Amino acid sequence: MHRKVAFIGSVGSGKTTIVENLSGFAPINTDVEATENIGKKMTTVGIDFGQIMIGEDLSLGLYGVPGQRKFSMVWEFVKTGLWALVILVKNENQESIEELSHLLSFFEVKEGMPCVIAVTHCENASADTTIKQIENIIKRYEVSLPIYTIDPRRKESAMLIMHTLIAIDETT
């Protein structure tokens, strides 16, 4: 069985990194040099793609999409046939936190859909304030979503997200 998982979030939240760390093969990477100041040198302009096997019969396609809204046509493509969603939010980054509302609406997140929110960039600061802001946003959408702090550079941290998505799916 093959399922499609999208990694979405603001620019620099760790989407490309988490796909690279989870994939069982060298993933397709669509990073190019940024043409405007977005806070980092490289940015995703297409779809980063990887794949991971969970057990013997479950294949997860990992789709990392651009964080800039001007690439939302890519979001539309990935949204079709989507099984699960991972929303990455940069800790203590107000733009990233505020983007969460738009992403929840765009991807039509509903109760029971396998969806996890992962707060990144927590190495040097507590994520308590960011998590409280996220909780307030998701209340407006009447969904209960797990929120984790993760380091997308660490495979075991990223795998926690995959196992949570599977557990949500099994309980619905």
Per-residue pLDDT tens over the stretch 76-96: 889 999 999 999 999 999 999
pLDDT for position 153: 93
pLDDT for position 68: 79
Residue 113 has pLDDT above 80, yes or no: yes
- State mean pLDDT over 93-111: 94
Q: Provide the domain count of the chain.
A: 1
Residue 141 has pLDDT above 80, yes or no: yes
Residue 162 and residue 172: Cα distance in Å, rounded?
16
The secondary element (H helix, E strand) that includes residue 43 is strand 42-44
- State mean pLDDT over 21-39: 81
Q: Is 65 helix (H, G, I), strand (E, B) or coil?
A: coil
Closest residue by Cα to residue 67 from 80, 105, 143, 42: 42
Q: What is the DSSP annotation of 82-125?
A: --EEEEEEETT-HHHHHHHHHHHHHTT--TTS-EEEEEE--TTS
Closest residue by Cα to residue 109 from 83, 134, 148, 72: 83
Residue 155 and residue 159: Cα distance in Å, rounded?
6
Residue 7 and residue 10: Cα distance in Å, rounded?
10
pLDDT for position 23: 93
Residue 13 and residue 89: Cα distance in Å, rounded?
6
Output the CA–CA distances (angstroms, integers) from residue 86 to 95, 124, 146, 155, in the order listed.
Answer: 18, 23, 10, 15
pLDDT for position 29: 81
Q: Which domain holds residue 134?
A: 2-171
Where residue 135 sits, what CATH number does that domain have? 3.40.50.300
Instruction: Name the residue with higher pLDDT: 66 or 14.
Output: 14
pLDDT for position 35: 73
pLDDT for position 37: 72
Per-residue pLDDT tens over the stretch 37-54 = 767 777 776 789 999 998
